[in-house]
Each structure stands twice: as C-alpha cells, then as structure tokens.
Amino acid sequence: RTAAVARSVAHQRKRIAELLTNLLRDLAEIGAAVGGSELDFKLNVDTVGKLEEEFTVARLHISKMKSEVKNIVQRCHSLESANIDA
C-alpha cells in the first residue's frame, strides 16, 4: 500500500513537471511573439533551482507582456479617437 502511494506521488510529480514545462514553453513562445526576443527554456525538471529560475523569467516576461498590451490598448483608443475627430 505504501509502495502504491509512493508510485502515485512520483507519477503526479512527473505529470506536474511536464505540465509546467509545457506552460513555460508556451510562455516563451508568447514572449518571443510579443517581445521580439526568443527565450531559451531548456528545462531540467530534476533541478528545482533551475525550475524556479525559469518561473522567475516567465513572470518577468508576463509582466512585460502585460505592460505592452496596456500600451497597445491605449494606442488603439488614441487612434480611434483621432479617427472619430477627423
């Protein structure tokens, strides 16, 4: 019974690592499309420190993308206002 629980925990950890890896790759693609620079996400899921570093980088890029989206929305509103006034 304990062995079954250990196998289940190991399987869940592996699935979580795979999901996080896929999430980071998707974020890297979004960052490359929005930010113009490609990120290098070579993950080693056995290294916790590396994974934490990648999440920090991902959070920074998400913040950057959020700012860029806000700027784009503001520019769109400005252009719409200019078109209405013209």
Tokens encoding 83:
């078109």
Q: Considering the chain, what is the average pLDDT of its residues?
A: 75
Residue count of the chain = 86
User: In the chain, what is the straight-line distance between the N-terminal and C-terminal CA atoms, in Å?
Assistant: 75
> What confidence score (pLDDT) does residue 35 get?
64
* Residue 21 pLDDT > 70: yes
In one letter, which amino acid is 63? S
Alpha carbons 62 and 6: distance in angstroms, whole number: 35
User: What is the span of the domain harbouring residue 26?
Assistant: 2-85
What's the whole-model pTM score?
0.45
Number of domains observed in the structure of the chain:
1
Instruction: Please give the structure tokens belonging to residue 52.
Output: 């934490």
Please determine, for residue 50, whether its predicted confidence score (pLDDT) is greater than 60.
yes
